[in-house]
Amino acid sequence: MVSEFSSRAATEADAQTLAALNLACWRETYESLLPAETFAALSLEERLDHWRGVFQTQGGRVTLAMDAAGEAAGFAHWRAHELALGGRLGRGGEICAIYLRRSALRRGLGGALLRLMAEEMRASGLKWASLVVLRENLPARRFYEALGGRRFGRELSWRGVPQVAYGWRDVERLAAHQ
């Protein structure tokens, strides 16, 4: 992990922290990218229910990152996934979320979290990774492309907002990416 940040595996006891952090990151990142009614419908209660569900039923691995003052600065969540190309690529990892507070951007934390997820996927025997991102979130798309992510598949939609998919065919290469 980048020296000014620390990270640890999150647990269900962190659901409140993750919900508040998730909502704060969305407010910082998506306000200009989501329709006003979609943005207005985002709530702490919905995010708290989501994170409780992640720990109770969805599984995967969630990493919580803190800054030097011990404040939550970002998080990452991934889980095993087998749907790409009808399973022809073997088992891979779905990057469900990677969010950073604006104050943590461009300080190496995003790359460190992405590499950590790739290392965990590789250690779990997974071969590839994928994620979806809002089509208009150009800074995030440039970030994924800089780390070797390639756009694939058809355009998707989340709450009526266009999304695109990115993938890495080899999590080992992603884990080693500098």
Domain ranges of the chain: 6-176
For the 6-176 domain, the top CATH level (class) is: alpha beta
Which tens digits make up the pLDDT trace of 17-27?
Answer: 999 999 999 99
Q: Which two tokens stand for residue 156?
A: 């998707």
Banded pLDDT at 88 (limits 50, 70, 90): low
Residue 145 has pLDDT above 60, yes or no: yes
Per-residue model confidence (pLDDT) at position 42: 84
Per-residue model confidence (pLDDT) at position 83: 61
Banded pLDDT at 178 (limits 50, 70, 90): low
Residue 166 has pLDDT above 80, yes or no: yes
Residue 87 has pLDDT above 60, yes or no: no
